[in-house]
Amino acid sequence: MFEAALLDKLTSDGTLTGYLSTFGGYPAIFSESTPEEVEETDIYLVFRIDRLSDENLAVQAFNVYLDIYARSSTRATVRAASHRLELLLDHVTLTDPSNRFDNIRMYFFSGGPVPEGDSQKIHHNLQFTARAGRKAWAAQIT
């Protein structure tokens, strides 16, 4: 899929990475899961890409989920990071380094705070839809 393109877009934005903690010398951004030690990190981001059904062989659809988690950060910082993600990714075109998809377009779908059982935990979720043209899709028909 296009995880590398999304990760590159996220890590290259200085404003976004300024809101996040670092982990292992890099911005605390993770794909799908986090190391156990990340719980001690102040504020971090986890993203996941789900591929949807293949109804159209020429166009592939995805849902992209981005979750910001924080423990001791202020809610204002999490809201600012959430707002930055929306500005950064809404109507953006990504280039797939695997060369499987062409013109990956992302669109903001929904987002906001997610209730947590622990009042000290802060969690915001953003959801995007993405569409991409499949390269050489005609060869996949046979």
Q: What is the pLDDT of residues 2-27, one digit of tens each?
A: 888 999 999 999 999 999 988 888 99
Distance between CA 65 and CA 81 in Å, rounded?
14
Q: Which residue has the tokens 């924080």?
A: 70
The end-to-end CA distance of the chain, in Å, is 21
What does the domain layout of the chain look like in residue ranges?
A: 3-140
Residue 85 three-state SS:
helix
Q: What is the pLDDT of residues 114-134, one digit of tens each?
A: 887 777 789 999 999 998 887
Confidence (pLDDT) at 24: 86
Beta-carbon count within 10 A of 14 CB: 8
| Residue 84 neighbours by CB under 8 Å, 6+ apart | 13, 15, 16, 19
91 φψ region: left (φ > 0), alpha (ψ -120 to 50), beta (else)? left
CATH 3.40.109.10 fits domain 3-140: no
- Please report how many Cα atoms fall inside a 13 Å half-sphere around the Cα of residue 94, on the Cβ side: 29
Q: Which two tokens stand for residue 133?
A: 């043209």
Q: Is 6 exposed, middle or buried (0-12, 13-18, 19+ CB in 10 A)?
A: buried
Confidence bin at 80 (pLDDT 50/70/90): very high
| Beta bridge partners of residue 112, listed in sequence order | 125
pTM value?
Answer: 0.85
Are 26 and 8 in contact by the 8 Å Cβ rule? The answer is no
